[in-house]
Every structure is written in structure tokens, then in C-alpha cells.
Structure 1
Amino acid sequence: MKKITLSAVAVLTLLPNVLSAEGFTLLSDAKFNGELRPRFESVSIEDSTKKDADAFSVRATLGLEAQLLGISGLSMKVDGTTVQTLGGTHYNDLSPTKDASYEIVADPEQTRFTQAYLQYKYGSTTVKAGRQILNLDNQRFIGSVDWRQMMQSLDAVSVTNTSVAGLSLSGAYVYSYATVFEEPTWDSKSVIVNGTYKISDMVKITAYDYMISSEKASYGSDTYGLALTGDLPVAMAKVAYRAEYAQQGDATFKTIGSVKKENDATYYNLDALANISGLLVGAGYEVLSGSTGSDGKTAFATPLATLHAFNGWADKFLATPTGGLKDMSLSLGYTAPGLGKAMAVYHDFETDKAMSEKNDLGSEWDILYTNAIPGIKGLSGLAKAAYFRGGDVSGFDKDVTKIWLQLGYKF
């Protein structure tokens, strides 16, 4: 499969020169893109019976975008991505051949098309059909999980429209999707609707309705909400804020398999980040409601989100605990041209509803430094660490340490 996929991408790079003749061109105005991303990741868990994980991996992507058949507005896009290990697999990659004696790093070796779609633009409307990357808003509900070496792709028909000044409308029907793991494509019958209206730099309103069903998780729900975002000038600072509320109920669109019948959960988030001449100071409070197990409620779920970006980089909360999650965070950092970006983030975690009469889900320190590497356009470096200190709730009571070193080159 790997050889077939990479060969197909290689052939596509030659098509603009091969498939053309006088008066007819299959592909024109070809643009190529690519990425190389080598990474080291280590994982250590307190009192674990498993060996510490040390993962050396590299992601390579090669893509082609071109106009199609000489028709104005019609184009195609194909990206092929491979993930390979360097120096052996000393981690549990969650693949069918996983080594369960190690801690988990969710980057299995695999090769596939991460995008392959047709696109048609007519005025302010764009339609895409096929495998595509879809990132909406801050990716809290719909995202490509780009932090992992293999990203998440959606097989969908999507439409965007920007014909009204300040208004952006997006809709998609997702009929299947491919996760970050080496596994079959999962069926879905999901409808995604998102609308954003920018009143000014200080106020942008986003309304959404995500009717999601997942064969993989035997899951179906309807999540609808409202978010206010913007940048506020306050004295010498520029304050970026987000205020959001969402309700999650029963699936209102056709679901797949055996799904939860009684979804009843809420979500809200308040956060702000002040930039004072490069000094970054922020705070946030996010709540995903939970259940006591006997109150008829469910834990708020986000099955298609870019989860690593939220609730700490140690990834302890990729699935919402039964009792829900409250995440209070404080951040401090600095950013400046040439100096890059440095950030330290502190999280304090609690349940929304007690689990076995306990609420403490632990705390976490996250540290990041990233910068462009001078001399080579498109090359950047990153160092990152997560230190999770366990609480008293079972399953969240062990300390976790994760460290990453990464280079990224895009062309």
C-alpha cells in the first residue's frame, strides 16, 4: 500500500507535463507543496509496569494542486503522507502489531492520501468533494489533529460562501473519515454547519450546529452553540478573548450502529490572552459537563476535535471523564520577531460531577519554545514538555511526563 500511494503521488507530479496537447490540457497551473517533520517524543508514567516510550518518527507529505480541464474555477488537490520510524519502534503505536510493553505514542507507521478532492469556485462560493482537511474555528469540535504525525481527514462534500461582507458560511456532509491511526476508514453520516459574522475586529459572532455520527465510536449527537471572539485594545495591550456556550443533545440526523440515545450535556469556555509589547498573559476556564452515572446525563464529547490543543499536552483528557471536566488555566509567555515564542501554561483539573466522591483530576505544567531557524526558508524548530501531576480520581492519579523535540520544513 505504501509503494502504491507514494507512486501515485509521484505520477501526479508528472501529469502537468505529460497530459497536455495542443488545444487541450488536463492539468495546468500546477502548484506543489511538501513537508518534512522529524520528531522525538518520550513518555514516562509514574509506577507504570510499562517501559518508557522513546519515539523517533518522521512525517513526509507531497502534494499537488492544479487547474482541471481548462475549466475556469475547476481544480483538484492531492496530498500523500507517510509516517515512518527512525531507529526502531520503542513505543506502543496502537497499530495491529503494537508492542504493548511500552507506553503509548500514537504515531504508527502508515502511508495514505490525506487529501484528494475536486474543487469548484464560482464567485464567492467554493465546493469541495472528496477527502479533505477541515479545521473550523479553534478546532475544539472539528479539526485535523495535525499535532500527530498522521492527520485526521474527512471524506466529505463541503460548501463555503463569503458573498455577504463580513459573513462566512460553511456546511459539509461527512460520509466517512480517517483517524490518525492505521485502521480502516470509518463510516459517518454527519452534517456540519458553521456561520461566522465579523462585526469589527473587536466582535466576531460564530454560530454552529454539528450533527455527528461515528461508526468507530458507535456515537451520535447534535451539538449546537454560539461563540463570541475578538481583539480588545486595553491600555497598552491587545486582548484576544473567546466566550462560548454549547449544548449537546440527541442525534437529529441519521446515525450508525448502536449509538447513545440520551445525550444531555453542556459546554462553556471563557478565555483571554493579553499581548503587551510581546509579553503574553492569559487565563481560561473551560467546562465539559459530566454525569453522576444515575442522573440521566452524559459527558460532553468532541469526537472530531483536535484534542491535543486543549486540556493539557499530556493528553490525559482525550476522552471526557464520566464526571466531566473543569479546566482552569493560566499562561505566561513572550513572542517577538527573531526570538520566537516561549510559553508556560498551568492547568488545574476537576470533575464537573464527583466520581466515587472524588473531584481532583490533577494539575499540569506545559512548556513550549518554537522559532523559525534562520538561513533556510520554511524551516522551524520546537521544544515542548508536559508535566502532569495526578489527582485522587482513579485513572488520573499517576504523574505523566512527556517531552518533544521537533523540526519542521515546509515547501
Structure 2
Amino acid sequence: MKKITLSAVAVLTLLPNCLSAEGFTLFSDAKFNGEIRPRYENVSIEDSTKKDADAFTVRATLGLETKLLGTDGLSMRIDGTTVQSIGSENYNSSTNGQSAYEIVKDPETTRFSQGYLQYKLGKTTLKAGRQIINLDNERFIGSVDWRQMMQSFDAAVISDSTVTNLTLTGAYVWGIKGITDLPASETDSIVLNGSYKINDMLKVSAYDYILSSLHDTMGLALTGNVPLSITKIEYRAEYAHQGDASRDTDGGIVNAQADATYYNLDVLANINGLLVGGGYEVLSGSSGSDGKTAFSTPLATLHKFNGWADKFLTTPTGGLCDASATLGYTAPGLGKAMIVYHDFETDKAMAGKSDLGTEWDLLYTNAIPGIKGLSGLAKAAYYQGGDVALNTKDVTKLWLQLGYKF
């Protein structure tokens, strides 16, 4: 299957030169893009019966975008992506049978990560097929690009920016292809998102994410930049409510119940390159007898939120309160360095306990001089466990990564 997929991508790169005749052009103005991303990841968990994971993996993507039929606005894009392990697989990818090791969810897999038709008319764009969808800050809908294989959506998406400063996006999603090689999950979901930029200091975004057999989530976010004499302050203030699912997937949960809330406030100041910020995010939970549910964001790029140790990819039953502080520096040529501290608690006590632990996250990334498109990254997460069940053990994760885009 791997060879077939990569061969198909190779054939497609030749098509723009082959399928043309006098007076007729099937493909034209072909543009190619690609990425190679090798990575080392180490995972160690305190008092674990598993061996520490040492994962050497590489992601390679080859993409083609081309106009179709000589028609203005009509085009096609197709990306082939493969993830392969380098050397011994001393990690549990969830599919490689190495259960003696800790999990690094980067299984070997090859697929068409994108394959869609696109039509543009003025400032309206329609895409149909497998595609990457990233909305807002990816807290609810994202491509999970941190993992080596990205998350794709089988969907029809329409976006429009005809009205100045107003952007509207609507999507019907019938399949979700996650980061592993499992078959695409069937769904019958609708995604609605709109934003209006009043000025640089205020953009208002509203959304309704109708995930079939899961829940409906409606929310409002305010974002912007506030310039001051010595600094620029970026902020995000957001509230969302999660209610019963209004749509069902064939074979899925019928009339899925949900009752949860979300709110978040993030502030980051840039003082001549010095980064200082803080945030407080709450995903509400349940006491077990109050009829509430834990707020969830199953289609998000979850690694970006609540600590890079990925302890809270699933919201605890009692919910999650994440108070964070950020200190860093960024400058041309010097790259970006950050340290982030998290203090985690439940929204509602679980068995009389609420301490979900703390975490320190460290990051340094920079472009590597001399080669356009080449960058490097070093990253670490140190999670210290709390007293709530399943969250008591310390976790350490380390990453070293190169990325080359062309």
C-alpha cells in the first residue's frame, strides 16, 4: 500500500506535462510543495512498568496544486504523506506491537493526506474532498500538525470574505482521518465559523460546531492587539457552551447528551522581543451526580493546549482548570525561546481531590542559516503529578526536530 500511494503521487507530478493537447489543457500552472521533518522523541514516566520510549521518525510530504481544464478559479490539490521509523522501534506507536515501551503516537503510515477540488469565484472559495481544516486557534477544529501524521477531514467547505473584514466558513464533514492508520471515522457533522474584524484591537468570532453523536458547541471569542508605548499586548477572551447533539451518525450514539461550559482568557505582551504572558482556561466537569458532562474538544490540535506532556488530551471527569504563565524572548536571527508553567486543578472534585499536578514546558526554535526553509526545534515537558487518580505520576518528554519545507 505504501509503494502504491507514493507511486501514485509520483505519477501525478508528471500529469501536468502529459495531459495537454493543442487547444485543450487538463492541468496547468502546476505548483509543487513538500516537507521533510525528522524527529527524536523520548518519553519517561515515573514508576512505570514500561520502558522509556525513544522514537526516531521522519515525515515526508509531497504536494501538487494545479489549475484544471483551463478554467479560471478551478483547481486541484493532492498531498501524499508518509511517516516512517528510523532504526529500531523502541516505542509503542499504538500499532507496532511494541507494548513494552511507552507510547509515542507516530505509527508508520502512508496516505493521501489531502486530495480536493477547489473553485474560487471572487472572494468565495469552495473545497470538496480530503483536506486540512484549521479554524481560529485550533482549540476546537485543527489538523494536529504536531504529530507526524496530520488529521484530515473529508468535507465540503465554503468560505467567503466578500464583505470587508468579515470571514464566513461553513463545512459539512462526512469523514475524519486521524493521526493513526485506522479507517476514517464516519460522521455527519456541520461546522460553522464567522469572524468580523472591527479594528486591530478587536476581532469578534462566533462559531457553532455540530459534531454528530457527540455534542453541539456554540461559542464567542474576542481577540486583538493593544499597542502601548513600550509594548504590544495580544489577548483572547472566549466562552462556549456544549449541549446535546442535534445530529446523529449512522451506527453512532443516538441523542447524545452534553451539558458543559468553557471559558478562557489569554494575554501575551511583547516588550521589544521579551514575551510575558498568562492565561486561565476552564473546561467544566461533572461531580457524577449533577447531570453535567466534561467539556471536550475531540477535533482540536490538543497538543497546543494544557501542557506539552499531553496529560489532558481527554478532559478528566471533574473538568480541568489550567492557570498558566509564560516567559520568553523572540528576535530575528536569535529565534524564539519560551518557558511556560501550568498549574492544573479539576473544576469539580473527584473522590474529594482536585490537584491535577503542575508542568514546566521549554521551547527553543530558530531558522537554520544558509538553507532556505530549514528550521530546528528543541522542546521539553516536565509534568509533576497531583493527587487525583491517573494523574499522580511524573512524566518527562523531550524532542529534537529538524524541518525543511520547499
Contact 1:289 1:352 in 2 (8 A): yes
In 1, Cα distance between equivalents of 2:352 and 2:249: 34
The amino acid that maps onto 2:196 is Y
Matched, 1:247 2:241: yes
Give the TM-score normalised by the residue count of structure 1.
0.98
In 2, Cα distance between equivalents of 1:184 and 1:323: 31
Matched, 1:268 2:263: yes
Matched, 1:185 2:194: no
1:146-197 per-position Cα deviation (integer Å, ceiling 9, x unaligned): 0000000000000000000000000000000100011111101110000000
The amino acid that maps onto 1:154 is F
Kindly report structure 1 stretches of 4+ aligned residues shifted beyond 4 Å.
none
Matched, 1:358 2:357: no
1:14-62 per-position Cα deviation (integer Å, ceiling 9, x unaligned): 0011111111111000000000000000000000000000000000000
Answer with 232-241 or 242-251: which moved more: 232-241
In 1, Cα distance between equivalents of 2:385 and 2:373: 38
Map of 1:216 onto structure 2? none
Contact 1:193 1:209 in 2 (8 A): yes
**Once the 2 structures are TM-superposed, how far is the Cα of residue 252 of structure 1 from its aligned partner?**
1.4
Contact 2:57 2:84 in 1 (8 A): yes
In 2, Cα distance between equivalents of 1:235 and 1:315: 38
Give the TM-score normalised by the residue count of structure 2.
0.99
Superposed, 1:2-17 pairs within 5 Å as 2-17=2-17
**Once the 2 structures are TM-superposed, how far is the Cα of residue 261 of structure 1 from its aligned partner?**
2.8
In 1, Cα distance between equivalents of 2:254 and 2:356: 28
Answer with 19-28 or 143-152: which moved more: 19-28
Map of 1:76 onto structure 2? 76
Aligned-residue CA RMSD (Å) = 0.8
Match of 2:298, SS state, is: coil
**Once the 2 structures are TM-superposed, how far is the Cα of residue 88 of structure 1 from its aligned partner?**
1.6
The amino acid that maps onto 1:245 is Y
Map of 1:37 onto structure 2? 37
Contact 2:116 2:131 in 1 (8 A): yes
Contact 2:247 2:255 in 1 (8 A): no
**Once the 2 structures are TM-superposed, how far is the Cα of residue 234 of structure 1 from its aligned partner?**
2.5
In 1, Cα distance between equivalents of 2:349 and 2:141: 28
1:325-383 per-position Cα deviation (integer Å, ceiling 9, x unaligned): 00000000000000000000000000000001000000000000000000000000000
Contact 1:220 1:259 in 2 (8 A): no
Matched, 1:321 2:316: yes
Contact 1:262 1:296 in 2 (8 A): no
Contact 1:42 1:54 in 2 (8 A): yes
Contact 2:366 2:375 in 1 (8 A): yes
Among 248, 254, 279, the alignment partner of 1:284 is: 279
The amino acid that maps onto 1:399 is D
In 1, Cα distance between equivalents of 2:255 and 2:391: 25
Contact 1:220 1:255 in 2 (8 A): no
Map of 2:155 onto structure 1? 156
Contact 2:248 2:255 in 1 (8 A): no
Listed as ranges, the gaps of 5+ residues in structure 2 are none
The amino acid that maps onto 1:133 is I
**Once the 2 structures are TM-superposed, how far is the Cα of residue 259 of structure 1 from its aligned partner?**
5.1
Map of 1:228 onto structure 2? 222
Map of 1:61 onto structure 2? 61
**Once the 2 structures are TM-superposed, how far is the Cα of residue 260 of structure 1 from its aligned partner?**
6.5
Map of 2:165 onto structure 1? 166
The amino acid that maps onto 1:186 is S
In 2, Cα distance between equivalents of 1:367 and 1:302: 25
1:261-298 per-position Cα deviation (integer Å, ceiling 9, x unaligned): 32000000001000000000000000000001111000
Among 292, 303, 325, the alignment partner of 1:308 is: 303
Listed as ranges, the gaps of 5+ residues in structure 1 are 214-218
Q: Give the length in aligned residue pairs.
A: 405
Distance 1:69 1:153, change over 3 A: same
**Once the 2 structures are TM-superposed, how far is the Cα of residue 254 of structure 1 from its aligned partner?**
3.1
Map of 2:388 onto structure 1? 393
Map of 2:366 onto structure 1? 371
Match of 1:49, SS state, is: coil
The amino acid that maps onto 1:239 is I
**Once the 2 structures are TM-superposed, how far is the Cα of residue 132 of structure 1 from its aligned partner?**
0.3
**Once the 2 structures are TM-superposed, how far is the Cα of residue 220 of structure 1 from its aligned partner?**
1.4
Identity among equivalent positions (%) equals: 71
**Once the 2 structures are TM-superposed, how far is the Cα of residue 124 of structure 1 from its aligned partner?**
1.1
